[in-house]
């Protein structure tokens, strides 16, 4: 085969360019620790990495949603516990207010109950990050509005929220809300915290009735009606405490699953893009040797003159 005088230099330049490119790639892999940095490095691996990173972002959003729901669950639990203490005290007063109490004693109890109502409304209007947590999705305004008479006594408490709850996705296809509706008079849907038709609960109105009966000295109504009503309110609050605990347990389990999945995705991505440092160093050394050998052999060949042939 005939070889022209220009073929060797052209071939040498091409080979040196290829070796220089390979050497630069390996040096970059050693410096960054990554085997795949651009799509052309390994198109298949890059596609898999992009899919894994997309899933990782989704899992990260699940984790943020879980943290947010855990925060709301904690605030909800604290508020329900406070309402439970108010309910307990109201039940004690209803038990103490029997026929042996004087009108003055009953009036003292009545003032205390009136204070419990106001305290309860304050708790029921609890906010988290500026949002009222018991107003349903109408979080920009207090869910419970208290009205008083000229003497400052509570005459009624109305619910201004709605019966919808905002849910967050904490896993694929799994949504939940750790908040509770302040009230639900529809007979269906999420159970109301203060008032719920299905549970027969209506804490604030029952407290108003107890206060009025205390002022009137109507101990028979207290024993026959108010105690039973307050017992239903207490049972409803206990239900919400139990439901909240169950949701927090679910959130903890979901958080653990999401954390494990996030770690697994990181390992998969690492397996696709990370360079094996030992192997990469060996390949870099081989490429550098080949580059040096090409330079030396090319130099010797290109330095030959006509006198070399004459000798």
| Residue 224 pLDDT | 94
Mean pLDDT of 21-36: 58
Average the pLDDT over 70-80 and give the result: 97
pLDDT exceeds cutoff 60 at 81? yes
> Positive or negative, the Cα torsion across 39, 40, 42, 44?
positive
Share of the chain above pLDDT 70, in %: 73
- Interval 265-311: pLDDT, tens: 888 877 666 554 455 555 655 556 555 666 666 666 666 554 454 55
Domain ranges of the chain: 53-266
For residues 15 and 253, the model is more confident at: 253
Query: Measuring CA to CA, which residue among 132, 199, 142 is closest to residue 165?
Result: 132
State the residue for tokens 């990370």: 274
pLDDT, tens only, 181-240:
999 999 899 999 999 999 999 999 999 999 999 999 999 999 999 999 999 999 999 999
Specify whether the backbone of 180 is left (phi greater than 0), alpha (psi in -120 to 50) or beta.
Answer: beta
Instruction: Give the distance between the most distant pair of CA atoms in the chain.
Output: 138
pLDDT band at 110 (very low <50, low <70, confident <90, very high): very high
Determine which of 44-53, 104-113, 153-162, 164-173 has the lowest per-residue pLDDT on average: 44-53
Which has the minimum average pLDDT: 5-9, 102-106, 162-166? 5-9
- What class is the 53-266 domain? mainly alpha
Residue 243 has pLDDT above 60, yes or no: yes
Averaged pLDDT for residues 112-128: 97
Q: What is the pLDDT of residues 146-192, one digit of tens each?
A: 999 999 999 999 999 999 999 999 999 999 999 999 999 998 999 99
The band of 28, judged by pLDDT with boundaries at 50, 70 and 90, is low
Handedness of CA 31, 35, 37, 41 (dihedral sign): positive
pLDDT score recorded for residue 70:
96
- Give pLDDT, residue 50: 81
Residue 113 near residue 207 (C-beta atoms within 8 A): yes
Q: What strand order describes the sheet that includes 201-202?
A: 181-184, 192-196, 201-202
pLDDT at 22: 58
| Mean pLDDT value of segment 60-75 | 96
Average pLDDT, the chain: 85
pLDDT of residue 10: 63
């Amino acid at each position: 085969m005939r070889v022209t005088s220009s073929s060797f230099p052209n071939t040498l330049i091409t080979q040196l360019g290829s070796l220089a490119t390979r050497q630069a790639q390996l040096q970059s892999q050693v410096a960054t620790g990554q085997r795949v940095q651009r799509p052309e490095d390994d198109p298949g691996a890059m596609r898999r990495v992009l899919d894994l990173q997309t899933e990782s972002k989704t899992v990260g959003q699940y984790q943020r949603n879980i943290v947010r729901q855990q925060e709301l669950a904690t605030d909800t639990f604290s508020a329900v516990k406070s309402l439970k203490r108010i309910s307990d005290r109201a039940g004690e007063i209803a038990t103490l207010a029997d026929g042996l109490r004087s009108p003055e004693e009953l009036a003292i109890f009545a003032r205390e109950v009136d204070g419990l109502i106001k305290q309860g409304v304050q708790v029921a209007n609890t906010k988290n990050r500026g949002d009222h947590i018991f107003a349903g999705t109408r979080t920009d305004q207090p869910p419970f509005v208290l009205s008083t008479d000229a003497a400052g006594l509570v005459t009624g408490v109305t619910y201004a929220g709605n019966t919808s709850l905002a849910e967050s996705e904490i896993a694929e296809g799994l949504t939940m809300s750790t908040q509770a509706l302040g009230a639900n008079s529809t007979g269906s849907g999420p159970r109301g915290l203060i008032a719920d038709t299905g549970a027969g609960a209506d804490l604030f109105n029952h407290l108003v009735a107890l206060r009025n009966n205390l002022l009137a000295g109507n101990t028979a109504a207290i024993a026959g009606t108010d105690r039973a009503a307050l017992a239903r309110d207490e049972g409803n609050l206990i239900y919400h405490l139990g439901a909240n605990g169950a949701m927090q347990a679910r959130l903890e389990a979901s958080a653990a699953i999401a954390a494990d999945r996030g770690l697994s995705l990181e390992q998969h991505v690492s397996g696709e893009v990370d360079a094996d440092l030992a192997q990469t160093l060996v390949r870099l050394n081989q490429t550098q040797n080949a580059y040096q050998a090409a330079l030396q052999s090319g130099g010797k060949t290109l330095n030959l003159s006509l006198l070399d042939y004459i000798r």
